[in-house]
Amino acid sequence: MFLNKKILITAGPTYEPIDPVRFIGNRSSGKMGYAIAEVLAEKGAEITLISGPVSIKPIHPNISLIKIETAAQMFDECMLKMDIMDIGIYAAAVADYTPKTFSINKIKKDDEQLFIELTKTKDILKTMGEMKKQKQVLVGFALETYNEEKYAQEKLIRKNLDFIVLNSLKDTGAGFATDTNKITIIDKYNNITKFELKEKRKVAEDIIAYLTKFLDV
């Protein structure tokens, strides 16, 4: 079913630079996105994995890795690749804001307070949703701390997704920097499917099994 399918996957965090040694980032380990990439590659898919800075590496030869650091770099790579993809799976934790200016020198600790002006990054998933072709399948991720299903459903509609994978930081063992995850999948037909806490490899298998419902076979 996935043999020779071209699949774009994003994973990991983005780092938004403040000065040569500091950045705004998050705790994403990339493990979920990498697990999805490995399982799909084993099923014969051709994977383009666009990854922020993480400590893990892809194993399967069907995975083509593109390393980026910033949200702008990830946006540019997605723009280059999305048009030729059958499926887009956007698991990266992309920064919503980036510093408006970058200091070419390390900022010295001279003042009691430091104010950093931020500007919104380009919305990768929304842009991909606007570009989406009829036969392309688009999957997003949402990490929430409250009103989880409400916010995920709004994101699903706003970004023209086929389904969204939701996890909550309220759930022990889910979220960043863990080897496990607990997800809820919400699709464009208003179906809501909840899964138990599992190792991320097993979670990847659940997501991919759900993905088959949206493929033309």
Catalytic residues: 26
What span, in angstroms and rounded, lies between the C-alpha atoms of 17 and 15? Answer: 6
Q: How many CB atoms lie within 10 A of CB 135?
A: 10
Pairwise CA distance, residues 70 & 76, whole Å:
10
Locate 36 and state its tokens. Answer: 């999805």
